[in-house]
Amino acid sequence: MRRATVLLAAVAVAAFVVIGLTQALHNQPKSGAATRFDLAQAQRRLAAAPAPLNGLYAQANQLLGGGRKAFEQRLAELKGHPVVINKWASWCVPCRAEFPMLENVAARRGKTVAFVGVNGTDKRPAALKFLRERPLPYPSYEDPRESIARAIEAPANYPITVFVDRRGHTAFIHPGSFRSEADLDGDIDRYLKP
C-alpha cells in the first residue's frame, strides 16, 4: 500500500512538471522582429515617470550588485509607490515565458508602479546574456544566495512575483509565471490599487 502511494505521488509530480514545462514552452514568444521588445522606446516613455520612478528606470536592464542592503535601500526610496518585484533566473523556462509580459506591462504602467527584478541563483554571465536577449525596462538585483528573496519572503521556486503596497508591506505573492498580461494587470489592480 505504501509503495503504491509513493508511486502515485511520483507520477503526479512528474505529470505536474511535464504539464508546466509544456505550457511554458507553448507560451514562449516566437523569435523575430515582430515580437522584439523595444527597450529604447520604453526608456523614452518611462523617463517622464515621477521621481523616484524615473531614477529606477534610468537603470533599465542593468544587473545591480550590492545585495540585500542595496535592494532594501531601493525599496525604501520607492516607499509611497506600489512595487512589483519579479524573481527570475536565466535557466528558468517559465521565467523566459513570462518576460515578454513583464516587459510590456512595465513599459505601459511604469509611471505609476515601480518594477524591480531579482535574479537569483544564477551565474552573472548567463543572466547578462539573457538580459541582452530579453531586455527589461527596469533593473534587477543579483541574489546568488537568495538573501533578498528570503527578505521579501519569496519562496524558493521560480518565477515568483511579489506585490508591495505603497506603505512597503507585502500585499500578495504570486507563485509561478503569469499566463497573460491581463492576469498581471489584474493582480496589480487588485493588490496594489495604483
- In this prediction, residue 25 carries a pLDDT of 41
Of 85, 74, 90, the residue nearest 144 (C-alpha): 90
Pick from 9, 4, 67, 61: which is nearest to 38 by CA? 61
Q: Where are the beta strands (DSSP E) in 10-113?
A: 63-64, 83-88
Among 16, 181, 153, which residue's Cα sits nearest to residue 87?
A: 153
The sign of the dihedral angle between the CA atoms of 38, 41, 44, 48 is negative
Any idea where the domains of the chain sit in the sequence?
2-191
pLDDT at position 21 is 39
What is the model's pLDDT at position 172? Answer: 98
What pLDDT sits at residue 20?
43
Query: Which residues does the chain have with pLDDT short of 50?
Result: 6-34
pLDDT digits (tens, 9 = 90+) for 103-152: 999 999 999 999 999 999 999 999 999 999 999 999 999 999 999 999 99
- What pLDDT score does 36 carry? 86
Grid coordinates of 137: 525596462
Residue 2 is predicted with a pLDDT of: 59
What pTM was computed for the model?
Answer: 0.82
Q: What is the pLDDT of residue 27?
A: 43
Q: Residue 135: is the preceding peptide bond cis (ω within 30°)? A: no
Closest-CA residue to 83 (of 165, 24, 13): 165
Cell 535557466, located at residue? 91
Find, among 152, 177, 175, 156, the residue nearest to 165 by Cα.
152
The CATH code belonging to domain 2-191 is: 3.40.30.10
At 158, give phi and psi (nearest 5°): -135, 150
How far is it, in rounded angstroms, from Cα 41 to Cα 129? 21
Terminal Cα-to-Cα distance of the chain (whole angstroms) = 53
Contact 159, 95 (CB under 8 A): yes
